[in-house]
Structures are given as structure tokens and as C-alpha cells.
């Protein structure tokens, strides 16, 4: 049996329960602290790190009596964060001391930011972290920790998209808790995208429950698509990049002309993502955004929800080296006069559906934007 001291996100009991796969009521938990240490947020990350700091005190929880299965699950989860276990003496509230293992980051791996607050983290990041942990731990015993950690970023992106989906306005009087019956739900595949399989019945339009259906869904995050438009020059900017799925279907032209597009990162609004992606992909600064709407890109197969925008900008240059090298992007841009752009739309020269939707919106609103 082992005792562990938690100073960071695992002090949040719903997360600890998810990682362990059992209720916190079964655990022996006590308030404790680690002397001469302090907890700081990691720069540009949503989790904390512990550092040695004389005369400081890192508050946390001492959890006693972990079995080997508990330790295996904790190592599986924490393995994605590059932590190692080290034994330390911790202080309890009654003044006694106890020996416990503590997760310490690899020296020099991260840079500390501001002092970390559990409550601030709960308010901002607990929901998305919990959803991400649920997906990660679903692969415990099926995939190794390295594979899961390699896909940690897209897992969190999907979790952020799920939170946004839950908050969308529901005008339909039907209740999924009553009108959809799930027999089995399985996370079948994990990579940059996920694949989930489900067996369910749903209420039909005549009021009866339908037959058992076996379906699957490509699990993706939410995305932004923004068409830069210069109302003074009356021109749009498009980006071109290689699209692997188009190549896989053996289309002879997998280099696609599209609007600027990208996934919404955890913590971002769609508008923030639109501005960021315009700079990353096209080196274009948008002065303002016109909201075109939002929709699922292919509701029969994918969870991807797209936020559509036309972004007003001063379009005066093109590039041949846009995008992030770290993400394998190789992007060039072109600026098209509006009339040329619409002629190419009418000639069916573009194969990107969001681009066609934005072209139609621009055609209806161009005069207003130019005024």
C-alpha cells in the first residue's frame, strides 16, 4: 500500500475519482502540506508545477492506502504530464508528519508562472480537464500512456468543443434523457481524431421508440472558418494547402483553395481563434469579424461544429510560407477580385463547402460591407 500527496489538479475530487475509477468515499484523505515548496502555474499551460521555495508551504491532500491498480492508473494519467514520483515528508493539520510520494516535474521541463490557485483552476479549467480525463482513462489497459499523451492536445480540443455543444440553445421540446436510450457506448479509436461507436434507440416521429441502431461518429473539436475580405479593394483572400483526406479518396487535386480555418483551442472563443488563425495561416490582421453563422460540417458522420465568419481586412500581400511548421502546415495565399472569385464559384472550381457558404453570404452582404 502507498500514500501520495497531491498538490495540484488531483486535489479536485471528481478528477481523482475519474482517474482512479472509484469513489472518493472509499479513500482515506487528509489535509496536508509540503514545507519549503510552493505551487505555481506552468506558463502557457492549464496545470501547475511544484518547486522548492524556502519558508513556503504547498497545500494539498494526503491520500493513504493506494493499491497497485490505483498506482498504475495514476501513472497512466500523470505519464502524459512528464511527472516522476519522489518521496517527501508532509505535515498534517494536527502537526504530525507522514511520508508520502509526490509527483515532481522533470527539472527544467516547464517554466513557472504565477502562484497557482485550486479554486481559480476549478472555475476555469475543471470541466474541460474532467472531460479530457474521461476520454484518456477510457483507453486504460488498451493503449499505452505514450500513445494517449501524444494525443493529449486534440483530446482537450474535443473536450472544449463538447462543453460548447452542451451550452447551445435547445429549442426542441424532446428530451434526450427520455427520448434516446443508449445500450452501449464505446471509444473505439484514438489519434488526432477520435472514433466512438454507439448502439441506441431513439423516439420516432410517431412517438414510438425506433429499432436498435449501430452508429459511429468521428469525434472532432469545433473549428472556425473565416474568409478575409477587403471592402475597399473589393477582394477576398484564399489559402491553399494539401488535404490528406482528399488525397485518400484519390481525388487528383488534394491541394485545396479554402478560407482560413482552424480548430478552437481550449480556453479560446471562436472570435479569438479566427483572429489567431488569420495571422498564423495568412499573416493577415483582421480589423473586425462578421458572423455568418455556425453549423455541423457533416452531421451524419462527424461532431465538428464550424463557426463561419467574414473578416474585414486590408489585403495587400500574399505569402508562400504560411502556417505552423510544428503542425506540418505549408500554406500559400492568393488575393482574388470579388468578380473573379464569384465567377470561379459559379464555374464550380472550388471544392470546399464552407467557402461556398461564405461566398453566398458575401454576395448578399457585399454592398453593406462596402458602404
Summarize the annotated binding site for Mg(2+) as residue ranges: 261, 277, 281, 329
Residues 6+ apart with CB under 8 A from 26: none
Structure-block grid coordinates of residue 316: 495587400
Q: How far apart are CA 193 and CA 178, in angstroms?
A: 29
Please answer whether residues 195 and 189 qualify as being in contact, where contact means their C-beta atoms are separated by less than 8 angstroms. yes
In b/e form, how buried is each residue of 182-201, taking b as 16+ CB within 10 angstroms? Answer: eeeeebeebeebbebebeeb
- From the list 89, 84, 60, 67, the residue with the least C-alpha distance to 20 is 67
CB atoms within 10 A of CB 216: 13
What does the angle CA 55 – CA 61 – CA 62 come to, to the nearest 5 degrees?
100
Q: CA-CA distance, 153 to 158, in Å (whole number)?
A: 9
The Cα 73–Cα 137 span in angstroms is 8
Asked if 296 and 342 count as a contact pair (C-beta separation under 8 A), the reply is no
Feature table: binding site: 261, 277, 281, 329
- Pick the closest to residue 240 from 312, 315, 321 (CA basis): 321
DSSP 91: E
- Looking at residue 357, what DSSP letter applies? H
Q: Which of 337, 332, 331 is nearest to 315 (CA)?
A: 337
The sign of the torsion formed by the CA atoms of 266, 44, 118, 96 equals positive
Q: Quick one: cell of 147?
A: 500513445
Residue 102's CB is within 10 A of a number of other CB atoms, namely: 20
Amino acid at each position: 500500500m502507498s500514500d501520495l500527496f497531491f498538490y495540484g489538479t488531483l486535489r479536485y475530487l471528481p478528477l481523482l475519482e475519474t482517474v482512479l475509477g472509484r469513489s472518493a468515499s472509499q479513500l482515506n484523505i487528509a489535509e496536508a502540506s509540503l514545507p519549503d515548496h510552493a505551487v505555481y502555474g506552468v506558463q502557457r499551460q492549464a496545470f501547475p508545477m511544484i518547486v522548492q521555495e524556502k519558508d513556503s508551504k504547498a497545500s494539498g491532500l494526503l491520500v493513504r492506502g493506494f493499491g497497485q491498480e490505483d498506482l498504475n492508473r495514476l501513472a497512466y494519467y500523470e505519464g502524459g504530464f512528464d511527472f516522476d514520483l519522489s518521496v517527501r515528508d508532509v505535515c498534517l493539520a494536527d502537526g504530525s508528519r507522514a511520508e508520502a510520494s509526490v509527483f515532481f516535474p522533470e527539472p527544467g521541463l516547464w517554466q513557472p508562472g504565477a502562484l497557482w490557485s485550486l479554486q481559480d483552476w476549478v472555475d476555469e479549467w475543471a470541466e474541460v480537464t474532467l472531460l479530457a480525463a474521461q476520454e484518456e482513462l477510457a483507453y486504460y489497459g488498451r493503449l499505452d500512456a505514450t500513445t494517449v499523451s501524444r494525443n493529449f492536445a486534440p483530446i482537450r480540443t474535443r473536450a472544449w468543443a463538447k462543453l460548447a455543444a452542451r451550452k447551445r440553445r435547445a429549442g426542441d421540446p424532446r428530451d434526450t434523457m427520455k427520448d434516446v436510450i443508449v445500450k452501449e457506448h464505446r471509444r473505439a479509436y484514438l489519434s488526432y481524431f477520435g472514433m466512438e461507436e454507439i448502439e441506441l434507440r431513439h423516439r420516432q416521429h410517431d412517438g414510438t421508440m425506433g429499432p436498435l441502431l449501430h452508429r459511429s461518429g468521428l469525434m472532432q473539436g469545433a473549428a472556425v472558418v473565416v474568409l478575409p475580405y477587403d471592402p475597399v479593394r473589393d477582394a477576398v483572400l484564399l489559402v491553399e494547402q494539401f488535404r490528406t483526406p482528399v488525397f485518400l479518396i484519390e481525388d487528383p487535386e488534394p491541394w485545396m483553395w479554402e478560407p482560413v480555418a482552424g480548430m478552437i483551442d481550449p480556453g479560446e472563443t471562436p472570435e479569438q481563434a479566427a483572429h489567431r488563425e488569420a495571422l498564423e495561416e495568412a499573416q493577415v490582421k483582421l480589423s473586425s469579424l462578421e458572423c455568418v453563422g455556425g453549423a455541423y460540417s457533416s452531421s451524419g458522420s462527424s461532431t465538428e461544429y464550424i463557426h463561419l465568419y467574414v473578416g474585414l481586412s486590408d489585403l495587400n500581400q500574399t505569402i508562400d510560407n504560411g502556417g505552423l511548421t510544428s503542425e506540418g502546415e505549408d500554406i500559400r495565399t492568393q488575393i482574388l477580385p470579388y468578380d473573379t472569385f464569384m465567377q470561379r464559384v459559379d464555374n464550380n472550381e472550388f471544392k470546399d463547402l464552407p467557402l461556398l457558404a461564405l461566398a453566398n453570404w458575401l454576395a448578399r452582404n457585399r454592398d453593406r460591407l462596402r458602404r
